[in-house]
Each structure stands twice: as structure tokens, then as C-alpha cells.
Amino acid sequence: MACALFAGIFEACFALYKQAVADNARNLYLRNLLRSQPVFPHGDIYREALLASIDAQALSRLHQGPMIKILISNPPHWAGAQLAVLLGMAAFGIKAWHKDAVHSSMGQRVGFRPLYVSVQECATPGALADLIIASSCVPPLTPQARRNGIALLDGSLVSNVPIEGVDPNAGETLVLLTRPFSRLPSVPGRTYVQPSQPVPVGAWDYTNEAAVQCAFDLGRRDGEHFCAAAGA
């Protein structure tokens, strides 16, 4: 979202994504188990929507904008790709039991390490798409992401709200959450903002165009209310 906004392509990217979701009938294609096509369509839909909207000009605008750092999980150095995925699945499962914790770093407890990569390091639209997709890499839902030969996983494994990537001397920090919590942290210098109700689409539901639009509309209304209350 941040990349699309600062690259000046949000409307095009959002429209392409919604159309791709509208054209996708299922989140699971079991018939593809015996074919060369992916069983899960998520990775291809995500990547195609990104590449269809981010061209060289958009990437140049993004490079000239504010620094955007994307969090990826580096697996333990002693774990191969398959073991890293198994460890990641276990960490995700444990994290689900503590779903009301705003800050969770279960993956770090089993050896995953945070890797923050600036989008300014991406020289091509393809490299940017690879980086964004790596930040939400959850095999087998998405293809296995790699960087310098190392298998990477979803950044939320090491921090589901990556406040650690913010310079502690940066001043006031606005933390935008993607789901409501029963209690928000009280930390000097931070303002936590959460949705006014549960987001009406699942993170891995790529079939419901109307729900995607409802999620956007919810965020816009909540954002307008927050700005009005803040006097912005």
C-alpha cells in the first residue's frame, strides 16, 4: 500500500488487484496437483498486479519519496529451506494462540532474524515485486522467496507490528494496525490506531472483490474519523 501510494499508482494497482480477485474463482485448485500450474493462486495474482502497475517511472517516483523499509524474516542459519518453513508454520500456529498481543515476536524465539530492506535498493520493478512478495511469503500459499540464495519468510514471523524498524529518535510515530485489539499499548511517542471493526476480508481470500472494496472503505472511513479527531 505504501509503495503504491508514493509511486503514484494506487488507483491503477487497486483496480488491477480487484479485477484479478474478481476473475479468480477459488483459493485452492486441487486439480493443479497433477499439473504444472500452481495449486494456490495467491503468489501469481499478487505479483501480476504489482508488475502491471509499477513501471520504471513509478519506481523512479518511489525512489524519490520517503524511505520505505520492508520487513522479511531470515531463517536460522542452521535451518535449510524445508526446515525453515516447518519452523515458520509452528511459529505461526503458536502466535495464533496469542492473537490479542499487539507485539508478537514468536519467530525470533525459534531463531528467525529480522531483515529490513529499503525499496530504494530495488533497481527494477521486478526486484520491487520480489521484495514485497517476500515480505508475505508463506509457502505453500506463495512461492518460496529467496535473497542471495537464502530462503525468506513472512516478516510477521519476527514482528507482526514492526516498530523495531523505526529509529527511536525519529519523533512521534503513528502505528497503523490491521485488526482490532482489546487493549492497545501505551508507549510515549507512539499513537496506535486500529480498525473500528474486524476487516471484512481474510488475508488469504483472493476470491471476494466486494469484500476487498469493503475493507478499503472501512479504512478510508476510519482514517477520515482519525484525521478529523486529530484536527488534521
Q: How many CB atoms lie within 10 A of CB 146?
A: 13
Contact assessment for residue 162 and residue 155, using Cβ atoms and an 8 Å cutoff: yes
Q: What are phi and psi of 220, to 5 degrees?
A: -65, -45
**What would the pLDDT profile of 108-136 be if each residue is shown by its tens digit?**
777 788 899 999 999 999 999 999 999 98
Distance, in Å, from the CA atom of 43 to the CA atom of 47, rounded to the nearest integer, reads 6
Contact assessment for residue 171 and residue 191, using Cβ atoms and an 8 Å cutoff: no
**What would the pLDDT profile of 58-73 be if each residue is shown by its tens digit?**
999 999 999 999 999 8
Q: What single letter denotes the amino acid at residue 193?
A: V
> What pLDDT is stored for residue 71 in this prediction?
93
Contact assessment for residue 14 and residue 4, using Cβ atoms and an 8 Å cutoff: yes
Confidence grade of residue 227 (pLDDT, cut at 50, 70, 90):
very high
- Mean pLDDT taken over the chain: 87
Note the pTM of the prediction, 2 decimals. 0.85
Distance, in Å, from the CA atom of 86 to the CA atom of 139, rounded to the nearest integer, reads 10
C-alpha cell at 107: 519467530
> What pLDDT is stored for residue 149 in this prediction?
79
> What pLDDT is stored for residue 108 in this prediction?
76
**Is the pLDDT at 208 greater than 90, yes or no?**
yes
- Between strands 145-147 and 190-193, the pairing is unpaired
Alpha carbon separation from 64 to 60, 74, 175, 182 (Å, rounded): 6, 28, 23, 38
The residue whose grid cell reads 502505528 is 175
Contact assessment for residue 176 and residue 219, using Cβ atoms and an 8 Å cutoff: no
